[in-house]
Chain A
Amino acid sequence: MATSRLLPYGLSLPAVAALTVFMAAPLVMVLMLSFNSFTMATGIQPGFNFKNYVEVLGDNYFHTIFGRTFVLALWVTGISILIGAPEAYVIHRMRPPWRSIFLLVILGPLLVSVIVRTLGWAVLLGRGGMVNVALVKLGILERPMEFMYSFTGMTVALVHVLVPFMVLSVWTSLRRLDPAVEAAGVSLGASQATVLWRIVLPQAMPGILSGSLIVFTLAASAFATPAIVGGRRLKVASMAAYDEFLNSQNWPLGAAIVVVLLVAMVAIVMGYNRIVEGRFKQVFQ
């Protein structure tokens, strides 16, 4: 067939143009904005200085916010591994009709707005909510505790929102696990624990690693759940940017916050990939 050599470029052009105009160019605008300055009286002043970065990187207020965001994302990732990976294995071992039913139950909530899922936690975690009632009845708590606007509440709600990604990711890599290998391990005299540790875990590892990356990045940039459950008292980075843009109107400072967030995330993702690929090359082949 006679194909013009330019055809693939022409076909790609509309998508490239849309991405460039509505994503790449605006991102450059944000970067430039972050070097401007701002005062209450005069608003945004054009110019080129690093004042906003000095403030974001040097101020204790922002250290707390970025530290909280990072620790929150670590906790959410850790808990998601601890409960999501075993759940994926349980599902992997289920018989056909049950397997797809429970996969639907776990993945289905991804189709429901994050707001709806977070609202459920706001109801459950309030002072009169069911978590409190249950904990008091069981004698674990003496009197109701405030989980709303607490770090614990934020972590629990965010784990709920993101753990389906871990289950999906681990389950996908377990699908390649041949049951005969497990059976061979057992027939050669390995205990159940040895089979889990030496056969299942290494096979699940690629799923755990890529699931961790998804959960961590989504947790570190999450907005709705921390904003509703954590509120203004426990600001995370995205909430701080929201406040600078829509409440304080200090856009250059807000721009610096998101640039720092973006750079930190890209650095973490790239560093993680490098470490993981170096150490688990044989797993990823």
Chain B
Amino acid sequence: MTRTNGSLALAFHGLFIAFILAPLVVVILVAFTPESYLSIPTTKWSLRWFEAIWSSDFIPAFWISVQVATASATVALLLSVPAAIATARFQFAGRQVLSAYFLSPLMVPHVVLGVALLRFMAEMGLTSNMGALIMGHVIIVLPFTLRLALAALTGMNRHCEWAAWSLGASQWTVFRRVTLPMIVPGLAGGWLLAFIQSFDELTMTVFVASPGTTTLPVRMFQYITDNIDPMVASISTALIVLALVLMAVMERVYGLERLLAGKGEG
């Protein structure tokens, strides 16, 4: 039997791909309209809506998102490397329970985490506190950095570690000089995935965002619920281009389907 698809299968495939791409293509087209309402440009194309972004309050929101995503991905990575070493390299009582606990944020819907963070911040007097928002994001991205750190640790060749031990290196030296350099690529992938996850997070953040901590997705959400105009389309286009660049990098280095298994938020 040949492993090719029949024409019916290919027709279905064409429709499916069209379904996947249609909304993104439409957003990109609308972004180039010269009109001030949503329309797909036919004769005249314009960049006026891209220019309009610069003087809008989407720019400060973008920088807040970058800060939150950078900080939370970094903190999550710093927390998950020792945790991953503990669960991957040691046998101890409660190991299973701890692993489950580390991955438990995946089980809690973001809306629930958002409500919980809001209540926590209100009780602690941390309303509109950037650090608390970042820690909220750390909780969301921790399972991803942890999983990639674990994959890197269990996937590496342990003979190098054993060789270093047998030659008298201390545990700390083995980690610093042998293990760490070998797992850096996996850690970088986890960091990148965590960054994207945090950068796009809306459902939790929308509960706690205040004027000083309004991230880009939250600002876009507030804007869209008021009115939909070509400016959000042009910002969305910029985000799509950004995602394309990241996608190219991640596919080159890791293979996207491996990284994305399990990511998600509706």
- Asked if B167 lies at the interface with its beta carbon under 8 angstroms from chain A, I say no
- Asked if A113 lies at the interface with its beta carbon under 8 angstroms from chain B, I say yes
CA distance A169 to B257 in the complex (A): 10
- Asked if B105 lies at the interface with its beta carbon under 8 angstroms from chain A, I say yes
Let me know if B256 and A107 touch, CB within 8 A: yes
CA distance A279 to B240 in the complex (A): 42
Q: Which residue of A lies closest to B196 (CB)?
A: A111
When each residue 96-108 of chain B gets 1 if its CB lies under 8 Å from chain A and 0 otherwise, what string results?
0010011011011
- Compute the total of residue contacts between A and B using a CB distance below 8 Å: 285
Which of B82, B102, B165, B228 makes the CB contact (< 8 A) with A19?
B102
Shortest beta-carbon distance, B241 to chain A, in Å? 10
Which of A11, A19, A25 makes the CB contact (< 8 A) with B105?
A19
Provide the residues of chain A in CB contact with B136, threshold 8 Å: 22
- Asked if A62 lies at the interface with its beta carbon under 8 angstroms from chain B, I say no
- Asked if B63 lies at the interface with its beta carbon under 8 angstroms from chain A, I say no
- Asked if B225 lies at the interface with its beta carbon under 8 angstroms from chain A, I say yes
Which of A15, A120, A219 makes the CB contact (< 8 A) with B23?
A120
Interface footprint category on B: 35 or more
Contacts A18-B79, A218-B266 given; does A8 touch B5 at CB 8 Å: no
Chain A interface, >50% SS class: helix
Let me know if A87 and B221 touch, CB within 8 A: no
Let me know if B23 and A121 touch, CB within 8 A: yes
Which of B25, B86, B171 makes the CB contact (< 8 A) with A12?
B86
- Asked if A5 lies at the interface with its beta carbon under 8 angstroms from chain B, I say yes
Q: Which residue of B lies closest to A148 (CB)?
A: B228
CA distance A165 to B266 in the complex (A): 11
Provide the residues of chain A in CB contact with B111, threshold 8 Å: 221, 223, 237-238, 241-242, 258, 261
CA distance A114 to B22 in the complex (A): 15
Q: Which of A87, A102, A115 has the most CB of B within 10 A?
A: A115
- Asked if A186 lies at the interface with its beta carbon under 8 angstroms from chain B, I say yes
- Asked if B150 lies at the interface with its beta carbon under 8 angstroms from chain A, I say no
- Asked if A214 lies at the interface with its beta carbon under 8 angstroms from chain B, I say yes
Q: Which residue of A lies closest to B85 (CB)?
A: A11
- Asked if A30 lies at the interface with its beta carbon under 8 angstroms from chain B, I say yes
Which of A30, A217, A242 makes the CB contact (< 8 A) with B116?
A30
Contacts A119-B228, A120-B22, A123-B27 given; does A19 touch B12 at CB 8 Å: no
Q: Which A residues have a C-beta under 8 Å from some C-beta of B?
A: 1, 3, 5, 7-12, 14-16, 18-19, 21-23, 25-27, 29-30, 33, 83, 86-87, 90-91, 93-95, 100, 102-124, 126, 130, 157-158, 160-165, 168-169, 171-172, 179, 182-183, 186-187, 214, 217-228, 237-238, 241-242, 245-246, 251, 254-255, 258, 261-262, 265-266, 269
Q: Which B residues have a C-beta under 8 Å from some C-beta of A?
A: 1, 3-5, 9-10, 12-13, 16-17, 19-27, 30, 38, 40, 75, 78-80, 82-83, 85-87, 89-90, 92, 95, 98, 101-102, 104-105, 107-113, 115-120, 123, 132, 135-136, 138-139, 142, 146, 165, 171, 196, 199-200, 202-203, 206-207, 217, 220-221, 224-225, 228, 232-233, 236, 239-240, 243-244, 246-247, 251, 256-257, 260-266
Beyond A111-B246, A187-B1, A223-B266: 11 further Cβ-contacts under 8 Å? A19-B139, A26-B119, A30-B119, A91-B13, A111-B260, A113-B239, A114-B200, A115-B220, A222-B266, A223-B206, A224-B221
